[in-house]
Amino acid sequence: MLFKRLLLSAVSATVALAPMAATAAPVGAVVAQGASDEAEAYAGPRLVVTVVVDQLSANLFNQYRSRFTGGFKRLIDEGLVHANGFQTHGVTETCPGHSTVLTGMHPTHTGIGVNFSADDATGEGRYCLASEVNTLAHGQITDNGNVGTELLKVDTLGDWLQVQRPDSRVFAVSGKDRGAMNLAGHNGRAFWFTKGFGLTTFVRPGESAEERLAPVAQYNTRFPAAEQGQNWKANNAYCQSLAEDIEVVDGTFKSVVPPQNIGFDGSPTQDEETLKAATYLLQSQRLGQGKAVDMLGVSLSATDKIGHTYGTQGPEMCEQLMRLDAALGDFLSELDKVEGGVVLALTADHGGADIIERTHARGFPYAHRASFAVVEEANAALRQQFNLDFDPLQRGSSGLRIVDTQKRALAEPLRSQIARAAVPMLDSKGDFAMVVFRDELLQDPIMETIQPEELTVRERMRLSAVDGVSADLMTALKPGVATGGRLGGNMSAHGQPWNYDRKVPIIFWTPHAAGQERFMPIRTIDIAPTLANIIEVETPKLDGRCIDLNLGESPVCPVE
């Protein structure tokens, strides 16, 4: 016991003197005695890495499995591969999907039901992680405006970890603010790329931008040069063979690498830079090198932008996945060097579909662009029925709002009366598979989801329903029906409750373990309790469950 205490003193001194102490989390690097005793006994990995590949559907992962030679191949050969992973909920968008990964909760409980909603009182758009009090560290209001984690209603693995082990540090980096913030949680450090600056973050009242940016200040000095270098060339003969012309709504889409008008966020360069930034944080902060358990979140956004802009089945996505595979390989090699040991989880925030015209041509004649004529018809009928001089149904990205001429929510009881009248006009009509009044859906129970494939569409949508956030009328388009499709805009989409949008890979990995395939479905909400068990962190009651990984000497899950 005496030996142990002496050892702990030495450890505390080392931590306090380490060069990264100045940039450690605000809670500080001083090791509380109780936490130290625990840390001393702890034999698990000292670094948890969470990788979210934005829009990497299980379909896409399976399609390219045999072609991977880099990081994905290592994850497959050395990891526990669940090709049947699920984002369980119905509104399969980026912010909700990211919110499930480290909270262990469905969006109905994280409060992040959609990417964009609207303020009922003002009619103005509201971003999923908008903040009324924070500013942005780069000093301008850009991208999604002022952001923060106040609208994320639950804590994350990193938050639990930092309460239970105050010397732990939590970082996340992404191309998107919502990718980084959902993985960093309330108390971690989230960084994301913003145009012309490099990595930025949010600044809470009383904090300084300089202090908040300190962990990435040196990285940012070299970033603008990297932003210029898109360097998207045709490297892979197989990918090149996928080039073709596709007739879309308003012309011919030329699917070829390199595409025209490439931006940083729509090219493989963005993910390569994100992984370099993650490596920079890993090394400069010496994550996983001390007695603490640290966390590093990495959300890779380029697959999503490339999927939206060029579809999933062309040379663009092919080249993206080959480049990401190589960059991931370099990143895993850096993780091999982490002396304290690493456990990594990789998944996606949602899946996605291909350009619907290409799907149509490949044997699915029902695949087509959505028509919203039934909404126009319903608006005309509702004007008459309720004696209105305006259209009460307004289309948003994730459903229909019931609004006045200023786009503000209609007052009750008129709002509910219109909603109940509108549902039979729209549900299962036209291109809608389902239209449901949010307030009624919120009365449904939350179903047990151990078999996520078996949930009804309504049960899936229930897991996305958030009061005051989800659309008044939550909608699902029929399978194979998509919005967009105009040249220069989004060619393909996600967001629907079908498995091509819900099914994602979930891989757990530790360096040089023996790979294993697991075919039963698991859910992204299972990741947080599983990782928490590995690093011996207690969780509150969660929607997800702990899964036994049997990685090395990892502890088994507690019996429920």
Question: Please, which residue, 338 or 493, has the CB nearer to Zn ion?
Answer: 493
Q: Rounded CA gap, 77 and 64, in Å?
A: 14
Walk across the sheet containing 473-477 and list its strands.
393-396, 399-402, 473-477, 432-437
Question: Please, which residue, 31 or 173, has the CB nearer to Zn ion?
Answer: 173
Residue nearest to Zn ion (CB): 94
- The amino acid present at 409, given as its one-letter code, is A
Min. distance of Cβ 138 from Zn ion in angstroms? 23
Question: Please, which residue, 12 or 94, has the CB nearer to Zn ion?
Answer: 94
Contact (CB, 8 A) for 510 and 342: yes
Pattern of binders to Zn ion over 271-310, x per CB under 5 A? ---------------------------------x------
Contact (CB, 8 A) for 526 and 508: no
Q: Which stretch binds Zn ion (CB under 5 A): 32-40, 346-354, 426-434, 548-556?
A: 346-354
Min. distance of Cβ 56 from Zn ion in angstroms? 9
Choosing from 87, 92, 94, 131, the residue that interacts with Zn ion (CB under 5 A) is 94
Q: Which one-letter DSSP state was computed for residue 447?
A: P
Q: Rounded to whole angstroms, what are the CA distances from 261 to 79, 94, 532?
A: 37, 24, 43
Q: Rounded CA gap, 343 and 335, in Å?
A: 9
Min. distance of Cβ 130 from Zn ion in angstroms? 18
Min. distance of Cβ 95 from Zn ion in angstroms? 8
Binding residues for Zn ion restricted to 52-91, rule: CB under 5 A: 54
| Structure-token pair, residue 273 | 């830079």
Min. distance of Cβ 14 from Zn ion in angstroms? 40
Question: Please, which residue, 53 or 246, has the CB nearer to Zn ion?
Answer: 53
Pattern of binders to Zn ion over 29-58, x per CB under 5 A? -------------------------x----
Min. distance of Cβ 54 from Zn ion in angstroms? 4
Q: Rounded CA gap, 106 and 86, in Å?
A: 11
Min. distance of Cβ 45 from Zn ion in angstroms? 27
The reply to whether 349 sits near Zn ion by the rule CB under 5 A is yes
Pairing status of strand 125-127 against strand 116-118: antiparallel
Binding residues for Zn ion restricted to 424-463, rule: CB under 5 A: none
Contact (CB, 8 A) for 324 and 303: yes
Q: Which stretch binds Zn ion (CB under 5 A): 347-355, 394-402, 469-477, 527-535?
A: 347-355
- Of 85, 61, 82, residue with least CA distance to 73: 61
Its sign, for the CA torsion 523, 528, 529, 535, is positive
Q: Rounded CA gap, 152 and 375, in Å?
A: 32
Instruction: List interacting residues with Zn ion (CB under 5 A).
Output: 54, 94, 304, 349
